[in-house]
Amino acid sequence: MRPILLASLLSLLIILPFLLWGEAAETWVDQFLSNETSLWLLAAAIFLLLAGDIVLPIPSSVVATASGAFLGIGLGTLVSAGGMTAGVIAGMLIARRYGRPACRAFVGVEEYARLERYFRSHGILILVLMRPVPVLAEASVISAASLGIEMKAAIAYTSLANLGVAFAYACLGAWAADRGTFILVFLISLLPPAIFFLGTRLATGRLGH
């Protein structure tokens, strides 16, 4: 639960300026993004944040939704999907480098054992299903790589899944940006991961059977 708490804290820090300064904060963001250089800097930041989410408590749903809100659906999707896939590759390389004991300690003994059972039963499909789920998306990648899953196939499948997830968040972000303030974008970004996380937790008892 610690990664979720840390991600929640970071999310609060992101939204805090908009809660405190409202329109002034949004005006500053609009002015910042009016410069093409700033736009590409934002795209690079989004890419790096989503890539780093594999080992850091980044609120990825907020970042991916903001990508659609600020970069548009097309560019937002590509940047987000690219960052997510870079994170998958990094996670697999890290897991292969440090092996099972380190990965088990990083993911958590119980979570690792649970994910191992799922992989034994359902294979690479688990990686695809976990992509939109907070914490488990990263944990599943690291666990699968340490268990010897075939990297090329895993990267191919997760890349396609990442495109779908990134597109969905980008659409949500663009929709929210057209209809309200950044606070609406932020609130919209919290709904899908909460639904997926709770749904996965309710279903996990059945996946291992």
Note the pLDDT of residue 91.
94
Mean pLDDT of the chain: 81
158 and 56 in contact (C-beta within 8 Å)? no
The number of residues in the chain equals 209
Confidence of residue 108 (pLDDT cuts 50, 70, 90): confident
Report d(CA 115, CA 63) in Å as an integer. 26
Q: Which candidate, 133, 134, 137, 145, places its Cα nearest to that of 104? A: 145
Sign, Cα dihedral of 69, 71, 75, 80: negative
Confidence of residue 89 (pLDDT cuts 50, 70, 90): very high
Report d(CA 158, CA 131) in Å as an integer. 7
Q: Which two tokens stand for residue 164?
A: 């779908």
Please give the residue that has the higher pLDDT: either 168 or 196. Answer: 168
